[in-house]
Amino acid sequence: MSATAEHLTERLATIEVPVCGMDCAECAAHVQQALAALPGVQTATVLLAAEKAVVRADPTRVTPLALRAAIEAAGYSVPVADTSAPPAAPAGAVARRVLTLFGLVFGAVVFLVVVGEWLGLLEAVTAGVPFWLGALLVLLAGWPVFVNVARAAARRQVIAHTLMSIGVIAALVVGEWATAAVVVFFMRIGDDVERFTAEQARRAVRQLGALAPQLARVEREGGETELPIAAVHPGEIVVVRPGEQIPVDGEVISGQATVNQAAITGEAMPVDVGPGVQVYAATIAQLGGLRVRALRIGSESTFGKVIQLVEQAEANRAAVQRLADRFAGWFLPVVLGVAVLTLLLRRDPLATAAVLVVACSCSFALATPVAMLAAIGNAARRGLLIKGGRYLEALARADVLLVDKTGTLTLGQPRIAHIVPCGGADEYEVLALAAAAERYSEHPLAEAVRVAAAERGISARAPEHFAAMPGEGVRAMVDGREIRVDSGRALPPDLALPPAVATLAATGATLLFVTQDGALRGVLAATDSERPAVARALAAVRQAGIDEIVMLTGDREHSAAPLAERLGVAYRAGLLPEDKIAIVRAYQARGHRVIMVGDGVNDAPALAQADVGVAMGLAGSAVALEAAHITLMRDDWTLLPEALRLARRTMGVVRLNLGFTVAYNLVGLSLAAAGFLSPVVAAAAQSLPDLGILANSARLLRAGAPPPSQV
């Protein structure tokens, strides 16, 4: 790099600007192009879900005022904070609400038109409506669409609605306002679905931000002061009391605690931490207190990076281009060329209008969304929530499956799976001693002990004395005798243990050693249960053509390896959220289409980055559900191969719809150009491909689940 280039790079600054009024990907593209065209802007990225633009620019040449002006020139706005009065809805938002209300009324009118066309009563339905009124309805209802088309045309772009807008104009020119109304109606349906999807993505970002720590207790001037996170400086000492959220990434300098790190690592088992151990913001000190030296704060913390990754995944993810856009790219020149040739060769304005009208059949708009809506509706009845047709398309083409472990492949709830008696005790006695010692403990493993005891009909005795030992276990006095349930660190190193203990340790189980007055009475092995039907579901996924399946987990190697071996999948252990999203991006960079399945906050960035993010519904966090593109509303792994099969069948129906639509329109173009179709007949002919597409797409409503033997 030259010295000049290095100097320019050093001068560049990152500027974030909030943007209001964006409802779809094309809106974000308009803003991005307007910002990128400014002198001094090196890169501009617009995040639809986060409602902001991230600009890399020379601050000496680009001012916030210039950025605001560019955004407003593109037709959008930058909100202005005003603490003196409650925020009012932007004018654009009010206008959209009015147009939405108007669209409901307009939709009812169009419904009557469509029914009238199908029944051959179109003229009777529309005869009582003056043409000027019908044309006004079409223009009002289609105004947002027409504005986007005009903006795209000003930038020499062709979008999905360009050809359809030309058809609307042609229909109005020849007096067919009803045909124009039907076309506009289906254009608006597509826009509303995309707007709804964008709002769901925004909600994911807001919910994730709400989980971030807001306050910290800091040691200053000989005392403790509670401060906002933004006021904490690296190097300061933060005090964390039992049950509190750790507010910063840092290093423990004193104290012992059991920390639930599920929000960051996804690890089911809380970890015991002490001096010298790294802890993360947004994790919870369940037992014990800590003094932590702050290293990374706010947006620089691991959890802060999770939020940034969810926002940025939208911009980094390879967009799945809508099939209608692809066809519009070549279909528009063909139609315009045929219309021009018709006018030049036949000198017949009516034939020219007929060409434009017949080429803009509603079937072109129906071909993809009707099939997608049928599939999405069918999926919803079967417990699959799919957030849009683009994810069905991506799912149908996926070839790599990445899966979180804790809470996804497993239940995320520790249970006592094995009991190894020692010193002449039996299993009943070992569990009774452990349940008594753990009676007042809040540790998740203590709950697993109590549940196991209750299942065997054991009533835990109340200890005369109880003490939790953060980082070790618990100690209690029961009937005058000391009972300890801990990690076994205090046991003599030369103590002979039953061979079964070493076998259980090798499987990744968490071992709890139960002693009475210093004598070992038994060992409990706690494991996280595998979800039912996981193995069968993964086999079905392989049968569907996805051969590469990798388990991603924040658990340690010894916990991950046994489960991966049982399921026959590859695995990566000890991962943080940024590691998971990096793995997703690495696969995408090699040309793969990736499915990511997860359930927790730590999975949210990878879910958003993947071509298709799938969240486990009942067990999943709210953030994971919002960041994902598909949600399994039941904790049923067999739904995943069902979704794969449905997606591939849907894309087959879409391809057939599009092929039929193109063929029908080409035949219609030829007949209209030859003078065999008048504009009125061309408009009436639009109902025939509509019926064919609706009938073909309706097959997806009847697509049932496969027999159990296939899953």
Write the Ramachandran bin of 429: left for phi over 0, alpha for psi from -120 to 50, otherwise beta: alpha
How far is Cα 318 from Cα 321, in angstroms, rounded to an integer? 9
DSSP class of residue 322? -
Better pLDDT: 629 or 290: 290
Higher pLDDT, 523 or 30: 523
Residues β-bridged to residue 226: 217
> Which comes out higher in pLDDT, residue 161 or 473?
473
Query: Residue 91 has what pLDDT?
Result: 42
Among the residue ranges 13-17, 207-211, 609-613, the one predicted with the least confidence is 207-211
Q: Look at 593 and 209; give whichever has higher pLDDT.
A: 593
Residue 239: what pLDDT? 94
Q: In one letter, which amino acid is 197? A: T
CA distance 164 to 699: 27
Q: How confident is the model at residue 533 (pLDDT cuts 50, 70, 90)?
A: confident
Residue 490: how many other CB atoms lie within 10 Å: 13
Distance CA(483)–CA(43), nearest Å, equals: 64
Burial-class residue 149 by CB neighbours within 10 Å (0-12, 13-18, 19+).
Answer: buried
Could you report the per-residue pLDDT of 276-289, keeping only the tens digit for each? Answer: 888 888 888 888 88
Q: What pLDDT score does 64 carry?
A: 86
Residue 618 pLDDT greater than 60, yes or no: no
Find the catalytic residue in 404, 486, 528, 599: 404
For strands 594-598 and 612-616, give the pairing.
parallel
453 domain-assigned: no
**What Rg, from alpha-carbon coordinates, does the chain have?**
32
Q: What is the pLDDT of residue 451?
A: 92
pLDDT at 711 over 50: no
| Residue of 191, 240, 204, 163 lying closest to 470 (CA atoms) | 240
Task: Examine residue 432 and state whether it is found in any structural domain, yes or no.
Answer: no
E strand or H helix that includes residue 519: strand 519-530
pLDDT of 88 reads 41
Of 220-224, 464-468, 470-474, 551-555, the least confident = 470-474
Is residue 311 in some structural domain?
no
Mean pLDDT of all residues in 602-614: 86
Distance, in Å, from the CA atom of 229 to the CA atom of 226, rounded to the nearest integer, reads 9
Instruction: Give the model's pLDDT for residue 412.
Output: 72
Average pLDDT over residues 603-611: 86
Task: Give the residue-averaged pLDDT of 526-553.
Answer: 88
pLDDT-based confidence at residue 126 (cuts at 50, 70, 90) = low
241: left (phi over 0), alpha (psi -120 to 50) or beta: beta
Banded model confidence at residue 118, pLDDT cuts 50, 70, 90: very low
What CA–CA distance (Å, rounded) separates 401 from 299? 30
The residues that bridge with 522 in the sheet, in sequence order, are 421, 514
> What does the pLDDT average to over 74-102?
53
CATH of the domain at 259: 2.70.150.10
Between CA 52 and CA 202 the distance in angstroms is 11
**Can you give the length of the chain in residues?**
711
The answer to whether residue 404 is catalytic is yes
Residue 30's domain comprises: 3-73
Which among 340, 312, 325, 367 is positioned nearest to 201, based on CA atoms?
312
How confident is the model over 426-438, as a mean pLDDT?
Answer: 93
Determine the residue type at 495: L
Residue 469 lies in a domain: no
Measured distance CA(608)–CA(310) in Å, rounded: 6
**What is residue 710's predicted lDDT score, i.e. its pLDDT?**
36
Lowest pLDDT segment from 100-109, 366-375, 444-453 = 100-109
311 pLDDT higher than 50: yes
CA 515 to CA 426: how far, in whole Å?
13
How many structural domains comprise the chain? 2
- Residue with more model confidence, 448 or 156: 448
Give yes or no for residue 701 having a pLDDT over 50: yes
pLDDT tens per residue across span 234-268: 999 999 998 889 999 999 999 988 888 766 665 65
Give the least confident one: 123-132, 419-428, 434-443.
123-132
Q: What is the mean pLDDT of residues 683-710?
A: 63
For residue 73, report the phi and psi dihedrals to the nearest 5 degrees. Answer: -65, -30
Domain CATH code at residue 28 = 3.30.70.100
Q: Which of 265, 296, 327 is the last residue of a domain?
A: 296
Amino acid at 118: W
Residue with the larger pLDDT of the pair 316 and 435:
435
DSSP secondary structure letter of residue 525: E
> Residue 370 in contact with residue 619, Cβ under 8 Å?
no
Q: Are 248 and 295 in contact (CB under 8 A)?
A: yes
Q: Which of 217-221, 476-480, 655-659 has the lowest mean pLDDT?
A: 655-659
Is 700 a residue whose pLDDT tops 50? yes
Among 49, 73, 97, give the residue marking a domain's end.
73
**What are residue 546's phi and psi, to 5 degrees?**
-100, 105
In a domain, residue 409? The reply is no
Residue 562 lies in a domain: no
Q: Alpha-carbon distance 581 to 368, whole Å?
A: 31
Query: Which residues, listed in sequence order, are joined to residue 678 by a DSSP beta bridge?
Result: none
Averaged pLDDT for residues 133-162: 76
pLDDT over 70, % of the chain: 73
What integer pLDDT is reported at residue 368 of this predicted model? 74
Q: For all residues of the chain together, what is the average pLDDT?
A: 77
Lowest mean pLDDT among 116-130, 161-175, 389-403: 116-130
pLDDT at 336 over 50: yes
Residue predicted with more confidence, 648 or 149 = 648
273: which strand partners? 257
Model confidence at 331: pLDDT above 60? yes
CA nearest neighbour of 284 among 304, 263, 259, 266: 259
What is the percent of the chain with per-residue pLDDT over 90, rounded to a whole number? 19
CB 248 within 8 Å of CB 297: yes
d(CA 29, CA 200): 19
Cα–Cα separations (whole angstroms), residue 232 to 259, 313, 497: 22, 28, 49
Parallel, antiparallel, or unpaired for β 519-530 and 510-516?
A: antiparallel
Residues pairing with 385 in the sheet: 631
Can you tell me the distance from the alpha carbon of 170 to that of 180, in angstroms, rounded to the nearest whole number?
Answer: 8
pTM of the model as a whole: 0.59
Rounded to an integer, the average pLDDT of 401-420 is: 86
Top-ranked range on mean pLDDT: pick from 344-358, 521-535, 552-566, 612-626: 521-535
Q: Flag whether pLDDT at 228 surpasses 80.
A: yes
pLDDT (average), residues 674-701: 72
pLDDT at 634: 72
Q: How far apart are CA 433 and CA 213, in angstroms?
A: 39
In the predicted structure, residue 195 carries a pLDDT above the cut 70: no
The pLDDT assigned to 622 comes to 55
Residues 612, 629 contacting (CB under 8 angstroms): yes
**pLDDT value of residue 124:** 56
Q: Give the side-chain half-sphere CA count within 13 A for 335.
A: 25
Does the pLDDT value for residue 569 go beyond 90?
Answer: yes
Output 22 or 90, whichever has higher pLDDT: 22
Alpha helices per DSSP H over 507-598: 534-543, 557-567, 577-589
Reduced to 3 states (helix: H, G, I; strand: E, B; else coil), residue 430 is helix
Higher pLDDT, 330 or 589: 589
Q: Is the pLDDT of residue 507 over 70?
A: yes
Cα gap 710→543, rounded to integer Å: 10
| Phi/psi of residue 57, nearest 5 degrees | -150, 170
Beta strands (DSSP E) in 175-236 are: 215-220, 223-228
Residue 23 is predicted with a pLDDT of 62
Question: Is 656 inside any structural domain?
Answer: no
pLDDT of residue 92: 43
Does 29 reside within a domain?
A: yes
Task: Tell me which of 50, 73, 96 is where a domain ends.
Answer: 73
- Cα–Cα distance, 142 to 620 (Å, whole number): 40
Of 10 and 423, more confident: 423
Query: Does the pLDDT value for residue 423 go beyond 90?
Result: no
- The whole-number pLDDT of residue 196 equals 60
User: Span 664-691, mean pLDDT?
Assistant: 74
Residue bearing tokens 């590859």: 570
pLDDT at 182: 67
Q: What is the pLDDT of residue 327?
A: 62
- More confident call, 47 vs 62: 62
